């Protein structure tokens, strides 16, 4: 790479500025991920509390404790599946974000 015309900046300085910008974006992304993780943990705790309440209600309105247990087991399986699907979506989003970051980096290299 040669010194850009008219910019007055060295190639090293421009590369450093691009690196600094990329690091700032990465830090923002990590901070956002941390916020999302804290929010998710809070939601998980809330769901656990609701599940306990729901188990009591289901038991009161079913004909037998066995029916209540079956319903609660199904509910737990569905929630686990839902958590798995959310986790897959999050991993997919993270992969897309990494690809976008790579594309931006490659575009900056032109």
pLDDT at 8: 65
Lowest mean pLDDT among 6-10, 22-26, 69-73, 102-106: 6-10
> How much is the pTM?
0.42
Q: Where are the alpha helices (DSSP H) in the chain?
A: 11-61, 65-109
Nearest-angstrom CA–CA distance, 40 and 72: 22
Structure tokens at 79: 């929630």
Contact, 34 vs 27, CB < 8 A? no
pLDDT at 69: 80
Q: Over the stretch 19-56, which tens digit does the pLDDT of each residue have? A: 888 888 888 888 888 888 888 888 888 888 887 787 77
Give the Å distances, CA to CA, from 14 to 1, 10, 99: 11, 6, 23
Nearest-angstrom CA–CA distance, 49 and 46: 5
Phi, psi of 63 (to 5 degrees): -75, -25
Contact, 71 vs 58, CB < 8 A? yes
pLDDT at 16: 86
């Amino acid at each position: 790479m040669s010194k850009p015309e008219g910019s007055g900046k060295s190639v090293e300085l421009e590369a450093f500025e691009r690196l600094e910008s990329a690091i700032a974006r990465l830090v923002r992304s990590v901070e956002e991920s941390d916020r999302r993780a804290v929010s998710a943990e809070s939601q998980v705790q809330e769901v656990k509390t609701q599940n306990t309440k729901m188990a009591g209600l289901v038991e009161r309105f079913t004909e037998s404790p066995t029916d209540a247990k079956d319903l609660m087991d199904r509910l737990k399986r569905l929630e686990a599946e839902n958590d798995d699907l959310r986790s897959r979506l999050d991993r997919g989003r993270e992969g897309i974000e990494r690809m976008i970051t790579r594309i931006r980096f490659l575009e900056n290299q032109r």
